[in-house]
Structure 1
Amino acid sequence: MRRQLAGLVAAITSLVLIAFLAPIALLLRSEAAERAISVATLDAQSTAQQLPGLVNGSLPDDGRTTVFLANGKVLGTPAAKSPSVELALRGESFVAETTGGREVMLGVVSTDGNAVVRVFIANSALYAGVTRTWALLALLGVTLFVLGMVVADRIGRRMVAPVLALAGTADRLRRGDMSARTVPAGPPEVQQVGRELNQLADRIDELLSTARAEAADLAHRLRTPLTALRLDIDGLRDPQEAARLADSLRDLTVEVDELIRTARRPVRSGAAPAADLAVVARERLTFWSALAEDIGRPLTGEIPERQVIVRAGADDLGAVFDVLLDNAFRHTPTDSAVRLVVQEDGQAWVEDAGQGLSPAAATAPGTTGLGLDIARRTAAASGGSLHLEDSPLGGVRARLVTPLLGEAALVAGHDQDGDE
């Protein structure tokens, strides 16, 4: 918008300056010529008054004045007897164009015969001072043009600033900050857009709240049939069938719990969530270490002492670690080692020494796919991502990538935002 406004102002200013300065320049040129001709005419008249004393004398050569006498004698600056001189000898007075300038012809009628006083005006004298005046006009035009562009830029900034504020508010809403609102400013049309954007945000906030409330209510309603189903499974006589159904029920329960947890998450968040990844990982490692010790499973951790502030909530990070550790415990032999690693660049992973798990198997029904899917959604909701890789221990590495939000890593956090 600013470029378009600047281009429009530049075009209009140029047209106005040309329409204003061009006639003035031509007028000044014409005035200079008229002034030079007037001076030459006065000189010719002054010389004509001296003719009685010049008939038998001479006229100094000033490079511009010539007197043609009736007897054919030429006084002053030598000049050819042109048709203009012949016409002036008849008593005519006029200004004529000639090579290199103009000539003022003054016919003098006397009893001793007609004479002609010719005053030549060179072009350099005819338009003396015009070049300097035109340069001043050009400087004035450039100055006015620059001032016009500066004013246009200021006006453009005032017009664009409210639009940029609207774009910033829309971007915050896109990123999930439902508290983002704009202050209507600028032209009335832009203010109207700002008010409509605020109303749209309010409506989205209301719809999200309603949807979450309905989802939470639905999830709570599922609790009762799940409890009844668990009792029915416990009453089965076939232990293998009961174990299989219990695993399926456990996965379904995890999904319902995740649904309830997501539904209870606040819709409005005035500030971006932030948590210390190292602290959360250390807490979950302590929690799972008790279980690992009871069952005799090797569980280790590599967590830095310094803070690793990431753009994610502590509850979300804890839920992801719980899912990853639970998968490692449930789907590897009891004696298989499990390791939790946190890096200062915002990455963390849980890896095991089991038999490994292909990505295709990770999404298959009845495997770890359900839990990992929950972890992926939780990580994505926090602006991160989850990747399955081969572990140097021989099993699977589930690597969590979260954007940094520490002061020292602000640039890295912005770069990762752009990748998302």
Structure 2
Amino acid sequence: MRARLTLLVAATTVLVLLAFLVPMALLVRQVAADRALSRADDVVQTIVPLAGDPDALRLALPVQPMPVTVFLPDGSVLGAPASATPAVRLASQRGQALTVDTPLGQELVVPVVGASGTTVVRTVVTSASLSRGVHRAWLTLLGLGVALVLLSLFVADRLARALVAPILSLSSVSHRLASADLTARAVPAGPPELREVAGALNHLAGRIQDLLAAERERVADLSHRLRTPLTALRLEAESLRDPAEAARVSAAADGVARAVTAVIQQARRDAAGPSSVVCDAVAVVADRAAFWAVLAEDTGRAMTQDLPSSPLPVLVAPDDLAAALDALLGNVFAHTPDGTSFSVALSRRPSGGAILVVADEGPGFPPLTAARGESSGGSTGLGLDIARQIAVEFEMGSAPTGGAMVQLSLLSPAGK
């Protein structure tokens, strides 16, 4: 935008200068020619009164500022040597003064009619005399035009910078807001329209901050609302006569409590801004795989694990990674029949980080993938989106065995 504004001002200035300087240059040339002709006419007029006195002509002609030739009635020539031109003969016949263009310049002839005949006074204004000082004047005008263009470019650049700087500031603030920096605010500057935009952007940022704060408060209240029913559920589990059944129900209640706690912690992390929480993907995946292995055994499913032997740090909170893996494995159990085999694989990402792959031998994904919050399988439709949020790359497809496959690429602590 800055370059376009500068170019627009430069083009406008050049057009204005052309409209002004071209006529001025033509006028300068015309004035120079008129001045040279006027000077020649003055010289001729000083000679005309002496046309009848040859002796006076012989004394006056040598001291003139330009060569003058006088053709006497008897055919003799005084002054600068020259032959009678057609203009001289025509002026002698008609008795009229003439100005004629010649290859050398302009020829001025003035006839003087006397008792003994017609005397013709002639002089030539050369082309150099007609254009004397014109080129210098044109160079001056050209220099003036270039100086004005450069000055206009300087002023236009300053004005464009003053106009573009607030726009760049607004862009920077919008990028900061997009990066979850909700404290970013624009400083109103520039024209009134940009000040209005800055105020609207600040109002929008404040409104977003208020809405997110309210949402986090509601999420935080969720833990308190669920404490009483979870406590009652634990008490009911303890009152069961079958110890195995009591342990299973208690474990389920603890799982709900952990899920709620994870939601609260994530909300607090989001409120504090972008985080740099790092976890060992191998430990988290192994822990959740062990949890689901029990349910897989109860439902007759063969579970395959492929995990690295050494720690694999990733830039994801452990609760978020666990929730994502739980969502993917929960989909396997919810959308495939009992006895369907599945696998969990974790490997190092070539550019740093990790790749988590969950695959099964079920019917695979339906032809149409539902949007967030929608599902054709009777679920909330948020399971895949939970996994998608922690991944830098998210891929869905078919496993080699024909079932469904989901692949997550996780960032390394270095952010690559």
- The correspondence for 2:306, drawn from 300, 306, 309, is 300
Shift of 1:29: 1.4
- Residue aligning to 2:82: 77
- Residue aligning to 1:418: none
Flag structure 1 segments of 5+ consecutive residues without an equivalent. 237-244, 410-420
Percent of aligned positions that are identical: 35
- Residue aligning to 2:356: 349
Summarize the Cα distance change of 1:56–1:197 in structure 2 as closer, same or farther, 3 Å threshold: closer
Report the Cα distance in structure 1 between the residues aligned to 2:199 and 2:309, rounded to whole angstroms.
Answer: 48
> Is residue 179 from structure 1 mapped to residue 183 from structure 2 by the alignment?
yes
- Residue aligning to 1:340: 346
> Is residue 389 from structure 1 mapped to residue 393 from structure 2 by the alignment?
no
Amino acid aligned to 1:166: L
- Residue aligning to 2:99: 96
Report the Cα distance in structure 2 between the residues aligned to 1:280 and 1:325, rounded to whole angstroms.
Answer: 19
Report the Cα distance in structure 2 between the residues aligned to 1:231 and 1:97, rounded to whole angstroms.
Answer: 127
> Is residue 167 from structure 1 mapped to residue 157 from structure 2 by the alignment?
no
- Residue aligning to 1:400: 408
Shift of 1:376: 2.0
Summarize the Cα distance change of 1:64–1:275 in structure 2 as closer, same or farther, 3 Å threshold: farther
Amino acid aligned to 1:21: L
Report the Cα distance in structure 2 between the residues aligned to 1:35 and 1:102, rounded to whole angstroms.
Answer: 13
- Residue aligning to 1:128: 132
RMSD of Structure 2 on Structure 1 (CA): 5.1
- Residue aligning to 2:29: 29
- The correspondence for 2:385, drawn from 373, 376, 388, is 376
Amino acid aligned to 1:203: R
Shift of 1:4: 5.2
- Residue aligning to 1:199: 203
- Residue aligning to 2:245: none
Summarize the Cα distance change of 1:292–1:149 in structure 2 as closer, same or farther, 3 Å threshold: same
Contact (CA 8 Å) 2:282, 2:312: kept in 1 or not?
Answer: no
Contact (CA 8 Å) 2:357, 2:406: kept in 1 or not?
Answer: yes
Contact (CA 8 Å) 2:2, 2:161: kept in 1 or not?
Answer: yes
Report the Cα distance in structure 1 between the residues aligned to 2:292 and 2:222, rounded to whole angstroms.
Answer: 35
* Aligned pairs, number: 385
Contact (CA 8 Å) 1:166, 1:182: kept in 2 or not?
Answer: yes
Shift of 1:141: 1.5
Summarize the Cα distance change of 1:394–1:130 in structure 2 as closer, same or farther, 3 Å threshold: same
Shift of 1:211: 2.6
Contact (CA 8 Å) 1:2, 1:157: kept in 2 or not?
Answer: yes
- Residue aligning to 1:242: none
Contact (CA 8 Å) 2:170, 2:186: kept in 1 or not?
Answer: yes
- Residue aligning to 2:40: 40
Shift of 1:317: 3.5
Amino acid aligned to 1:133: A
Amino acid aligned to 1:77: A
Shift of 1:257: 6.5
Contact (CA 8 Å) 2:340, 2:362: kept in 1 or not?
Answer: no
Shift of 1:12: 3.7
CA offsets per residue over residues 44-85 of structure 1, 9 Å max, x none?
36766696149899x99xx97442323355563221145872
Summarize the Cα distance change of 1:41–1:229 in structure 2 as closer, same or farther, 3 Å threshold: same
> Is residue 212 from structure 1 mapped to residue 216 from structure 2 by the alignment?
yes
Shift of 1:209: 0.9
Structure 1 residues 319-334: aligned runs within 5 Å: 319-324=323-328
Shift of 1:299: 3.3
